[in-house]
Amino acid sequence: MHIPDGFLSTPVWVAAGAISLPSVAFYARKAQVALDEGRIPLMGVMGAFVFAAQMINFPVGVGTSGHLVGGALLAVTLGPAAAALVMTAILTVQALLFQDGGVLALGANVFNMAIAGVLAGYLPYSYWGSGSRRRAAIFAGGFLSVFTSACLAMAQLVLSGVPIPAALAGVSLALFVVSALIEGAITVAVVSSLQRLNNGWMRKSEAAGRPRLAFVLVAACLIGSVGALFASSMPDGFEKLSEQLGIAARAWNLFETPLMDYEARFLQPEWLRKSFAGLVGLGLIYAIFLGLGRTRRGRLSRSG
């Protein structure tokens, strides 16, 4: 989903641009270092390949067909940094020459598809790309790449104040899942054919390491922002049981906390209260586990 100009509110496109610009500059610097290896022409031609590949339709059943989006395929062949740069170039050409996506909205589109989409597409491959679950990892990469991009685009529209009723959000989510499944299937099919032709084109999953922090941030943004928007308003099992037993009526608060009832009450908009609380919660949990991990590692190294 390429967002055109005129849709996003100023804070959203400025924030997306503020993330995308330095990220693209970072990827470009990494690519510049690799200039001697002849990867820059390769990246350009691979970008042209993704354009051309979109002309070839895949039958996906029920009289419909889909085409490759390419984020995950680029990530597993070129690596995540080069793939992000190629996707940025593709999005720029689409915005300028095909009127597909806006120029100011390019920051948001690059964040959704070239940064988060490519990282999400590479995540399963980086962990399970070399084992017996390789095909499943590539399928999951294709799925996650499209699903993450689409959900982020929808979340940005919602953050910009575009009114999206709950029913429409549900239908959109279902469509995103279908598109993501198609991308996963096409990515697996193309990668299998590529491996038959020349296995050397596939990037080894251990080669680039596992940029865990970037993946955790992408996952946190996705879960915190989108998950909270679609969160159920029904009470969970424990709350329901306590209500039925009458415990809830006798309970009282010892003190007020800033994130009580999973809401940041100091924020005005309803959606921002839950999203912010979700993100803070994820951050706290990550910090706790990071601390526990470091303590445990310290003890193990002392004992070893």
Partner 1 sequence: MRHVVLERWSRSDSILHRLDARAKLIVLLVYLVSLATLRDVGSLGIAAFVIFPLAGLPASRLPIPALLARSMLVLPFTLTFAAISFVAGEPERASAMLVKSYFSALAVLLVVASTPTPALFHAASSLGAPQALVVVLQFLYRYMFVVAEQAARMWSAALCRGAKTSRRSRKQSMVAASGMLAALFAKSYQRAAAIHKSMLARGFTGRIPLIELPRWRRADVAFLGVGSIFLLSARLLPILWP
Helix axes 71-78, 166-197, angle to 10 degrees: 40
| DSSP bridge partners of 65 | 59
Q: Give residues 22-61 in contact with partner 1 (rule: CB under 8 A).
A: 24-25, 28-29, 31-32, 35, 38, 40-49, 51-53, 55-61
Q: Which of 76, 83, 97, 276 contacts partner 1 by CB under 8 A?
A: 97
| Interaction between residue 193 and partner 1 (CB under 8 A) | yes
Tell which one of 64, 100, 241, 296 touches partner 1 (CB under 8 A): 100
> Which range in 82-90, 233-241, 279-287, 289-297 contacts partner 1 by CB under 8 A?
82-90
Helix (H, G, I), strand (E, B) or coil at 70: coil
Map residues 223-262 to x or -, x wherever contact with partner 1 holds by CB under 8 A. Answer: ----------------------------------------
DSSP secondary structure code for residue 4 in this structure: P
Q: Please, what is the minimum distance in Å from the beta carbon of residue 231 to partner 1?
A: 21
d(CA 33, CA 143): 31
Find the part of the chain contacting partner 1 (CB under 8 A) among 86-94, 125-133, 223-231, 273-281.
86-94
Task: Enumerate residues 6+ apart whose C-beta is below 8 A from 145.
Answer: 69, 71, 72, 75, 117, 118, 120, 121, 180, 183
Among 88, 148, 156, 225, binds partner 1 (CB under 8 A): 88
User: Could you tell me if 50 and 86 are in contact, meaning their C-beta atoms sit under 8 angstroms apart?
Assistant: yes
Does the footprint of partner 1 cover residue 214 (CB under 8 A)? no
**Per-residue tokens: 182:** 């198609």
Strand residues in the chain grouped as ranges (E): 58-61, 64-66
Q: Is 63 in the site for partner 1 (CB under 8 A)?
A: no
